[in-house]
Amino acid sequence: MMIDTEHKPVILLVEDNSFDVQLIQSALGRTPGEINLIRVEDGDKAVDYLAGISPFDDRETYPIPITMLLDIKLPKRSGFEVLQWLRSQGGPIRRLPTLMLTSSKHQVDINQAFERGANAYLTKPDSIKELTSLMGELKTFWLKRVEMPEVKR
């Protein structure tokens, strides 16, 4: 999986539920387009990854992602806190397109996510069919349609 990292765009998935990770991985696999999905399981690790703090300082293995899928309810640091940290950074990393992917449909959460600088808010679909089509749409939109900012230093 690591071999082709330089060629495959990296999506950073911040998700504590391994089953959800597996389902997302599976859904991504069913859609065209090569993606390297790298997963961290809590908010602190997400910050470490983006900041390049050991063990994530090896950018060969842990490249800067082109986008981040961020859950809200996470161990240690919540998705909102990660988002706030990200948007307050000095370097170009703060531009990283960030999509909330969560099971919460609460309006307060949705509002807060956008207030803190999320680029989209998605709820986890109930069926694998819907999840697959969501992942397909994401790939099409964010990897093909959207003109991406520079996020590397």
Partner 1 sequence: MSSAQGKTEVIRAPQAGTAVLTPNPLQSERVFRLLVESLSDYALFLLTPDGVVASWNPGAERMKRYKPAEIIGRHFSIFYVPGDLEARKPENELRMARETGRHEDEGWRLRKDGTRFWANVVITAIRDTDGQLLGFGKITRDVTDRREAELRYRLLIDGVTDYAIYSLDRHGNITSWNSGAQRIKKYSAEEIIGKHFSQFYTKEDAEAGLPAKVLHTAATTGHFEGEGWRIRKDGSKFWSSVVITPIRDEAGELVGFSKITRDVTDRMKLLEKIQHHADELEIRVAERERTNAELEAFSYSVSHDLRSPLRAIEGFTDIVLTDYGSQLPEPVLGLLQNVVQSATRMNRLVEDLLNYGRLGRIEIESAPVSVAAAVKAACEQIDENLRDEIKSAVDPSFQVSANLATLTQSLFNLIANGLKFYPPGQKPHVDVSASREKGDIVVRIKDEGIGIEPQHLERIFQVFERLHGDQLYPGTGIGLAIVKRGINRIGGKVWVESKPGKGSSFFISLPAA
| Interface residue list for partner 1 (CB under 8 A) | 17, 19-20, 22-23, 26, 73, 102-106, 124, 126-129, 131
Comparing CB distances to partner 1, the nearer of 22 and 61 is 22
Query: Shortest approach of partner 1 to residue 128 CB, angstroms?
Result: 4
Would you say 43 and 78 are in contact if contact means Cβ atoms under 8 Å apart? yes
> Would strands 67-70 and 120-123 be described as parallel, antiparallel, or unpaired?
unpaired
Query: Shortest approach of partner 1 to residue 13 CB, angstroms?
Result: 15
β-partners of residue 100 are 70, 121
Query: Shortest approach of partner 1 to residue 148 CB, angstroms?
Result: 29
β-partners of residue 12 are 38, 68
**Interhelix angle 18-29/128-138, nearest 10 degrees:** 60
Comparing CB distances to partner 1, the nearer of 26 and 61 is 26
Instruction: List Cβ neighbours of 31 (8 Å cut-off, separation of 6 or more).
Output: 132, 135, 136, 139
Comparing CB distances to partner 1, the nearer of 88 and 103 is 103
Comparing CB distances to partner 1, the nearer of 52 and 136 is 136
Comparing CB distances to partner 1, the nearer of 104 and 140 is 104
Query: Shortest approach of partner 1 to residue 73 CB, angstroms?
Result: 6
Backbone angles phi, psi at 101, to 5 degrees: -130, 110
Query: Shortest approach of partner 1 to residue 121 CB, angstroms?
Result: 15
H or E stretch including 14?
strand 10-14
